[in-house]
């Protein structure tokens, strides 16, 4: 029984020694050629619901890893696992390997998809909390093993996955679709794309396709002589890995080209070499193509035939590349008590011949989610305004924060330069007001 709380990161890479036999993912109904599965798009990433040994959990669908990983299991999420042994994992970030567990022979089930002999990894250390960043419970990541057994269509516009049997799949004529070859290393997909740097130099890079990474593009400095960080950049916190914080620089690339698809001024991150030194087993890799780009397409991942097909997503293809200009990173904090106004209706006369309706109001206390400042970038507008790590955001521009989703708040903090932002924070029970203007750093 696993009941210890554990905390995940969006960016995960691991090394382990022994290997369990892995069962095949298949359609539950063998008479069907495909199965549709709904998903939720959260912070650019695909979140699905599935069961492990009968326990319902939420997973990121991530092409950037090969195996299934469990983490962030609370007491109520306890799940019985089979054939457990201790191992060590190593991942992105600075730090030592962490203790984890490997488990084999588990039953995976999801809306008509099953794997009766799933092997997975369990992170048991309290590392970081992905659920607090995304605003929904995330208990693990389903990786490339699922993609290997199907041809998978990801429709970001309709938030629906379609799993096709490879031997029954027939590609339909598709206007506007383009198909590209994939290379595989350690079970993970790589694509060759072209970028144009700030010096107008166009060159080709090999990128890991990472549907579980929320950024648009990562490029590894020094992996190619033409990957040069522009002077127009700023130092930033890029995320957390298994072994600690991932730091680096954020900037914009002049152009990203995938076949005839082109993106100008796409945001790009350059992780520090100390954060990525352990992921260079594939020495041809120059970086990562993340969900910030993938969401702009309808994507067909065809592992069996080593190819990917892209078609413009009309809802998101031309959406702007935004970044947080406030300098404060937010996570979901503890629930807070707020007073809500509630309406009720009554008929005080008890006279069926008279139609008199009385509307009354009362107030009640309700627990609502809160946003907490998890990090402040030095020299940023929020830093100069006086906001501190640990502050609870109660209002943004007069709107109670508990009425908003995380993405809405981040969107407000990612608008045009010089937009005024007013926040009300709770700091150890004291309510304080601050204001600042957004500053463009790129």
The Cα–Cα gap between 257 and 200 comes to: 13
For the cut 80, the answer to whether the pLDDT of residue 22 exceeds it is no
* Mean per-residue pLDDT of the chain: 83
Tokens of 322: 């935004």
- pLDDT for position 276: 63
Tokens of 202: 């166009």
26-162: CATH topology is Cathepsin D, subunit A; domain 1 (2.40.70)
- pLDDT for position 47: 93
- Chain-centre distance for alpha carbon 230: 26
Using CA atoms, how far residue 49 sits from 6, 57, 118, in Å, is 19, 6, 16
- pLDDT for position 71: 81
- pLDDT for position 338: 61
Q: For residue 134, what is the enclosing H or E element? A: helix 130-134
- pLDDT for position 130: 63
Give me the residues paired with residue 69 across strands. Answer: 121, 141
| Sequence-separated (6 or more) residues with CB below 8 Å from residue 314 | 157
DSSP 177: -
- pLDDT for position 145: 86
Topology alike, domains 26-162 and 178-312: yes
The rounded percent of the chain whose pLDDT value lies above 90 is 51
Q: For residue 276, what is the enclosing H or E element? A: helix 273-276
pLDDT in tens, 183-210: 999 889 999 999 999 999 999 999 999 9
Q: Where are the domains of the chain?
A: 26-162, 178-312, 328-437
For the cut 60, the answer to whether the pLDDT of residue 343 exceeds it is no
Q: How confident is the model at residue 403 (pLDDT cuts 50, 70, 90)?
A: confident
Lowest mean pLDDT among 11-15, 20-24, 256-260: 11-15
The rounded percent of the chain whose pLDDT value lies above 70 is 78
Q: How confident is the model at residue 180 (pLDDT cuts 50, 70, 90)?
A: very high
For the cut 60, the answer to whether the pLDDT of residue 95 exceeds it is no
Instruction: Please tell me the CATH code under which domain 328-437 is placed.
Output: 2.30.42.10
The long-range contacts involving 395-401, CB below 8 angstroms and separated by at least 24 positions, are 395/422, 395/423, 395/424, 396/421, 396/422, 396/423, 397/421, 397/422, 397/423, 398/422, 400/338, 401/370, 401/371
Q: For residue 133, what is the enclosing H or E element? A: helix 130-134
Instruction: Please tell me the CATH code under which domain 178-312 is placed.
Output: 2.40.70.10
């Amino acid at each position: 029984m696993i009941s210890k709380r554990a905390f995940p990161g969006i960016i995960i890479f691991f090394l382990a020694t022994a290997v369990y036999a892995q069962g095949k993912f298949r359609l539950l109904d063998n008479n069907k050629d495909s199965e549709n599965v709904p998903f939720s798009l959260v912070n650019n990433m695909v979140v699905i619901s599935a069961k492990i040994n009968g326990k319902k959990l939420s997973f990121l669908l991530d092409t950037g890893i090969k195996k299934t990983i469990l983490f962030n299991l609370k007491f109520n999420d306890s799940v019985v696992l089979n054939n457990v042994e201790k191992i060590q994992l190593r991942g992105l970030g600075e730090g030592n390997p962490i203790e984890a567990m490997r488990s084999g022979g588990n039953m995976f089930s999801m809306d008509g998809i099953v794997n009766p002999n799933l092997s997975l990894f369990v992170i048991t250390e309290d590392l970081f909390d992905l659920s607090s960043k995304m605003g929904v419970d995330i208990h693990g990541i389903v990786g490339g093993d699922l993609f290997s057994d199907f041809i998978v269509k990801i429709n970001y516009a309709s938030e629906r996955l379609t799993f096709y049997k490879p031997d029954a799949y027939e590609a339909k004529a598709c206007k506007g679709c383009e198909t590209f070859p994939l290379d595989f290393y350690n079970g993970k997909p790589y694509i060759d794309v072209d970028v144009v740097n700030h010096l107008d130099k166009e060159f080709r890079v090999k990128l890991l396709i990472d549907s579980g990474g929320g950024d648009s593009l990562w490029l590894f400095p020094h992996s190619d002589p033409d990957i040069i960080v522009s002077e127009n950049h700023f130092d930033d916190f890029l995320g957390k890995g298994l072994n600690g914080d991932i730091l680096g620089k954020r900037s914009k690339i002049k152009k990203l080209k995938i076949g005839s698809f082109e993106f100008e001024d796409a945001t790009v991150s350059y992780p520090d070499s100390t954060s990525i030194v352990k992921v260079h087993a594939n020495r041809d890799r120059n970086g990562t193509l993340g969900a910030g780009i993938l969401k702009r397409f309808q994507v067909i991942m065809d592992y069996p035939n080593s190819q990917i097909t892209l078609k413009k997503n009309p809802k998101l293809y031309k959406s702007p590349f935004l970044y947080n200009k406030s300098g404060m990173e937010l996570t979901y904090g503890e629930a807070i008590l707020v007073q809500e106004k509630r309406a009720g209706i009554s008929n005080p006369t008890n006279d069926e011949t008279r139609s008199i309706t009385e509307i009354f109001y009362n107030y009640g206390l309700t627990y609502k989610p809160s946003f907490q400042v998890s990090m402040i970038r030095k020299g940023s507008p929020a830093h100069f305004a006086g906001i501190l790590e640990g502050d609870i955001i109660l209002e943004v521009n007069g709107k109670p924060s508990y009425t908003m989703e995380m993405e809405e708040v981040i969107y407000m903090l990612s608008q045009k330069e010089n937009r005024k932002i007013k926040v009300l924070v709770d700091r150890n029970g004291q309510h304080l007001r601050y204001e600042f203007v957004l500053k463009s750093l790129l």
